[in-house]
Amino acid sequence: MTNNTTHFGYKTVSEDDKVHEVAKVFHSVASKYDVMNDLMSGGLHRIWKTFTIAQAGVRPGFKVLDIAGGTGDLSKAFAKQAGKTGEVWLTDINESMLRVGRDRLLNTGLMTPTLLCDAEKLPFPDNYFDRVSVAFGLRNMTHKDQALAEMRRVLKPGGKLLVLEFSKVAAPLQKPYDLYSFSVLPWLGQKIAGDAESYRYLAESIRMHPDQETLKTMMETAGLEGVKYFNLTAGVAALHTGIKY
Amino acid sequence: MKKFLVGMTLAIAALSMVGESIARPMGGGRSIGRQSSSVSRMQAPAPAPRPTAAPQAGRPAAPVAGAPVKQPSRFGGLIGGALLGLGIGALLSHFGMGAALANMLGTILPVMLLGLAAFFLYRWFRNRNAPTNAFQGFNQNPLPAGGAPEIGSGINQAKQPAAYEPVQQPASSAAAPAPHTPWGVPADFDNESFLRTAKTSFIRMQAAWDKGDVADLSQFTSPEVFAELKMQIQERGAQPEFTDVVSIDAQLLGIETVNNEYLASVQFNGMIKPAPDALAEPFAEVWNMTKPTNGASGWVLAGIQQLPQ
């Protein structure tokens, strides 16, 4: 047990508690996750993911690690692109989400290795993957720097890390965005998933997540090079990419 | 001339796709091995609910009583017509009407979408009014949550068999035959993980079948099914097959005990691609899996059964 503290949304909690609180949120929302994503983002998350998939440029035979893969949107696309000679690992730290993802992949005829694992301690050898992706997962990790360093470690030299995450929205949109995420989101969460608290956490955790430039610096500190980012929908989300050399 | 040929080829290819074809998964789409009499007894007065035009996985289109044969051609005709339109577009562009082609494409696509929407609305309306017979009811009521049991969706094991009961429609029940009653899935049976494993085996064996990997097939098949599959693989020679499972849905129809063996019948529905560049085609068949009652070994595929026509 550690006595270090970290943030859980706007609350300050001990690090061990954060892990449990985050797990609780996702156990609670797993079954409704996709419906809620569509509703909350107006389908925008699909465009963001499509952009990420295009930027990943997975080719047949690639080894791909999908961290916090949840319900498997990215893995599904990667598995099709990597083909029969490729290897796509769907991983998540949350069992409920991973089960939903595994079943969804199976229903589309894809059998990919599925693994419950902690991104801060990846059970893979060094220099193994051509691509590592983490979509809307980094925000929930307790030690982001450690997780980024692990992602870099498992990448092959020349491999690419893709981090898709909510980010800092452009200044003119700040007010309406705040209004939306603190009033509409929890209300939607209550109506659809019967859980306002989890969605309040979502809104708060987005505010606490490092902005574009900070995350870029964090990735560089973790040893990734050529780090760049793309603002998506005026910075509501951002895709950061970095290469390991 | 070249463009004209390309246009014509496109049009012909589009038209040739109109004819309804059922994909041939492992075993060549024939019934082999152990057959379950309970499955054969699922007599349907209307044709078996093979997925027809609807590309929706897991919710095969129930044929409309009355004019089931006409249905696919109406759909096919629509697409065929639109694609023929494209062919004509290519033809026009040959005569220096490139801009016209672009315009036509812009017009055809929305019209095609509108047509599709109208078609589905029309079919939905007809389906709603059509009398529901037992077998259709069975198929129109897949598992809750769209057929894929999801974690936390609250599927109650005890309630599972109820999902297979036909819809009771007072108005049409007189015309409908005696409803098919499920021949039993024990209440404590772990349906969800059994079906997950079944789907996994289906995909894996399909891959082994394509490669002609008899060693892998032998692990999951009974001796008689293995013999039949091996023969078919030898017949086709060294030519590997291609099947890409695009979507798959499984339902446990029932479990019976026959001669010291459990016999579980699993119905698979879905779409497969018979060639890398082909369109996905629907398939539906029942796999009969057996396992010794003494638990000496695991589930193996003992027979493939085509649904009663």
Q: What is the pLDDT of residues B204-249, one digit of tens each?
A: 888 888 888 888 888 889 998 999 888 888 888 777 788 888 899 9
Q: Who among B58, B151, B245 is closest to A99 (CB)?
A: B151
Single-letter amino acid, residue B12: I
What pTM does this model have?
0.65
Summarised one tens digit per residue, pLDDT across range B114-133 is: 777 777 777 766 665 554 44
Q: Is A96 in the B-facing interface, judged by CB distances under 8 Å?
A: yes
Alpha helices in B163-236, H assignment, sequence order: 191-211, 214-220, 223-236
Summarised one tens digit per residue, pLDDT across range A161-199 is: 999 999 999 999 999 998 888 888 888 888 877 778 888
Question: Is B152 in contact with A108 (Cβ distance < 8 A)?
Answer: no
Whether the ipTM is more than 0.95: the answer is no
Residues of A in contact with B199 (CB under 8 A): 106-107
Rounded to the nearest 10 degrees, how much is the dihedral formed by the CA atoms of B272, B274, B279, B280? Answer: -10
* Chain B nearest C-alpha distance from A96 (Å): 7
Q: Are B177 and B45 in contact (CB under 8 A)?
A: yes
Question: SS3 of A106, please?
Answer: helix
Residues of B in contact with A30 (CB under 8 A): 151-152
Helix (H) or strand (E) holding B102: helix B98-129
Question: Is B196 in contact with A109 (Cβ distance < 8 A)?
Answer: no
Compute and round to an integer the Cα radius of gyration of chain B. Answer: 22
Q: Are B34 and B113 in contact (CB under 8 A)?
A: no
Q: Is A30 in the B-facing interface, judged by CB distances under 8 Å?
A: yes
Nearest-10 crossing angle of helices A212-221, A144-154: 50
Question: Is A107 in contact with B249 (Cβ distance < 8 A)?
Answer: yes
Q: Are B195 and B250 in contact (CB under 8 A)?
A: yes
Q: How far apart are the C-alpha atoms of B120 and B75, rounded to whole Å?
A: 9
Q: Are A243 and A158 in contact (CB under 8 A)?
A: yes
Q: How far is CA B253 from CA B186, B188, B207, B263, in A?
A: 12, 15, 25, 11
Q: Is B64 in the A-facing interface, judged by CB distances under 8 Å?
A: no
Q: Catalogue the long-range contacts made by B62-70 (C-beta closer than 8 Å, 24 or more residues apart).
A: B62/B127, B62/B136, B62/B139, B62/B140, B63/B136, B64/B123, B64/B126, B64/B127, B64/B130, B65/B130, B65/B131, B65/B133, B66/B130
Summarised one tens digit per residue, pLDDT across range A130-160 is: 999 999 999 889 899 999 999 999 999 999 9
